[in-house]
Amino acid sequence: HSMFLQASIFAVLHAYLAFIVTDAGIPVIIFTFYEGYVCAYLESKHGILACTVAHGLAIFLVSLV
């Protein structure tokens, strides 16, 4: 439950990015929810460093598109 909550908050906090900065909308919210859930899982199993690396890698990969 806490991972779902963390992912939801992470997605909501990216609403400005989704609708104003990129104008990409709902796909960005869905992606950030998924990424938030993965990062929450990684943090719970492997610590904050794994979460930070995964987040940085996700941003890097998205920037290539």
Does residue 57 surpass a pLDDT of 90?
yes
The pLDDT, as a whole number, for residue 23 is: 84
pLDDT higher than threshold 90 for residue 13: yes
CB of 49 within 8 A of CB of 15?
Answer: no
Of all residues in the chain, the percent with pLDDT exceeding 90 is 71
pTM strictly above 0.85: no
CA distances from 33 to 28, 30, 38, 54 (A): 8, 5, 9, 14
Structure tokens at 53: 């690396």
CA distance 36 to 18: 15
